[in-house]
Amino acid sequence: MKIKLCSVLIILIISGCSKRITSNEVIGNWWSIKVDSSYSETYVNEVEWVYNHEDFGPFSYKYTFYSDSICIGVKKWALNVSDTSLVLSDHQEKFILYKLPLKESIFESRKDSLAYENFQEEFRKRYLSKLKIEK
């Protein structure tokens, strides 16, 4: 009986110590360079996940956050967050996104066409600067 009680207690302590990810850790601006050396940025607010790529432009998805995973569109990803990076993975792929400090987010800039155009121009500048670093 004592062994069962100790086992249950140990399991409760271990599961209680595991870090739960909050949605606030995911919200923000992120950048990544894919295997094919293409640069992209991702912007996340409370309800929207926006992927911005030079070839495709920005497009958004609704997402559902869980404590250790996230469902973006119809794809579910395991999630790992640190102060500087966000890792999305499944059994086939792994994407590492890095924190991107921006003065204004895409969500704020979409309210005004001139602000949006300026935001996209700044994206192109960041894109071109990453290309120079990669070469």
Q: What domains does the chain contain, in order, with CATH numbers? A: 23-134 (2.40.128.50)
Nearest to 31 by CA among 95, 121, 106, 100: 100
- Residue 31 pLDDT greater than 50, yes or no: yes
Q: Check if the beta carbon of residue 79 is closer than 8 Å to that of residue 21.
A: yes
pLDDT at 2: 56
Tell me the HSE value of 115 on the side-chain side, using a 13 A CA sphere: 10
What would the pLDDT profile of 35-85 be if each residue is shown by its tens digit? Answer: 777 899 999 999 999 999 988 889 999 999 888 899 998 999 999 999 899
Alpha carbon distances (Å) from 69 to 7, 94, 117: 28, 13, 33
- Greater confidence (61 vs 16) lies with 61
pTM of the model: 0.78
